Amino acid sequence: MPKKTIADVDVAGKRVLMRVDFNVPIEDGEITDDRRIESAVESIKSVIDRGGRLILMSHLGRPGGGMRDPKFSLKPAADRLAELLGKPVKFIPQVVGPAATKAASEMADGEVVCLDNLRFHTEEKKGDVAFAQQLADLCDIYCNNAFGTCHREDASMHAVPTLVKQKGGPAVAGFLVQKEIQYLSEAIANPQRPFVAILGGAKVSDKLGAINNLLTKVDTVIVGGAMAYTFMKAEGKGVGKSLVEDDKVNDAKEILAKAGREVADLMLPVDHVCAQQLSSMAPTQVAGETIPDGWMGLDIGPKTISAYAGVINKAKTIIWNGPMGAFETEPFDVGTKEVAEAIARATAEHGATSIIGGGDSAAAIEQFGLADKVSHVSTGGGASLEMLEGKKFASVELLDEA
């Protein structure tokens, strides 16, 4: 990645404004998954261990109307970071304004300040320059360490680094952003083959761009999840009452036609675990390529699992984005778990490079205890998906060249 990183700049005595992704799940005030905070620690320590004065900013959830809402406060994230660092993190219940300005001006070398939720201001999502200017005024150096929002042009991602550069300050990447982009771009540009992409999830509309791009780059595209039923309908097969995006059936037909012209194989499920409702108590049946009326497909079936695992087992590069079924509810977690285990086996036994593309896939690999058995688990579902579509990020392009 030809961009300067935080390691390339002298931070001693300087105020570093770092955009992190602390958008973590919080229930009853407790963080239930702190992986995104942990993944930021390396860059954070690089600043404070070298005498930098670190100011952190992030979003959390979707607070409505840009109003301050305590349940979306970043205070729990700041507290968790303090535990991970073993030193205080000063939390400011403000994003811009007198308290934020005062905290930034009074910092000592090696200290950490965490501002509150950027999305308490509607200007963040709008990319507002006046709002960004107030943030840029807090610092000497800007660092983008938030891969999960690299595909967005929010004020903190785009306008702030632009303004910092205008006043002569560096705008650099954090180690997490560097690692994420390096893994994904290398995997797509220079893969070891066979190269397999596994795409699942509920909506084919979310994955159309990725499938179109990957069909020209990979050896096999494996499709699972509810998005498979839109393809089934495009093939004229019965889908019962499975989730289908009717307005995307023609797009699915076009992809099936394209797959017929490309070297890559497009694999669709050949059997399905079905129920009449999504419930762990509901009776199930395994249907073949046609799902009966009144039933819905909720997971890939045993023949499909076997076929998919066989392809994954031979792969040297694997990218996975999206579960194979409703993995949050037993017994519809089996397909996703078996695919995750196949990826882990290929990684361990054949040295495959395996990249898990954030979002539900990352949640699944964690749920099954396999996160440390794969090469890389991304912190950004939407961002990694856009990379699979072949898109570039304006927020990264504007960072200083190495």
Q: Which residues form the catalytic set?
A: 36, 203, 359, 382
- Angstrom CA distances, 123 to 22, 96, 104, 119, 128, stand at 19, 11, 21, 8, 5
Let me know: does 219 contact 235? Beta carbons within 8 Å: no
**Amino acid in position 37:** I
Name the DSSP letter for residue 108: P
Nearest partner of 360 among 377, 342, 373, judged by Cα = 377
Residue 270's alpha-carbon distances to 61, 91, 223, 273, in angstroms, are 38, 53, 11, 11
- In Å, how far are 71, 79, 96, 263, 297 from 30, measured between CA atoms? 11, 10, 26, 48, 34
CB of 174 closer than 8 Å to CB of 5: yes
Distances (CA, A) of 199 to 235, 258, 326, 364, 390: 18, 17, 14, 14, 15
Per the CB < 8 A criterion, the answer to whether 154 and 124 are in contact is yes
Find tokens 């811009």 and name the residue: 96
Q: Are 378 and 187 in contact (CB under 8 A)?
A: no
Q: How far apart are CA 102 and CA 285, in angstroms?
A: 63
Q: For residue 106, with 0-12 CB atoms within 10 Å meaning exposed, 13-18 middle and 19 or more buried, which class applies?
A: exposed
Residue 139 near residue 101, CB atoms below 8 Å: no
In whole angstroms, what is the distance from residue 217 CA to residue 188 CA?
7
- Kind plus residue range of the DSSP H or E element containing 320: strand 317-321
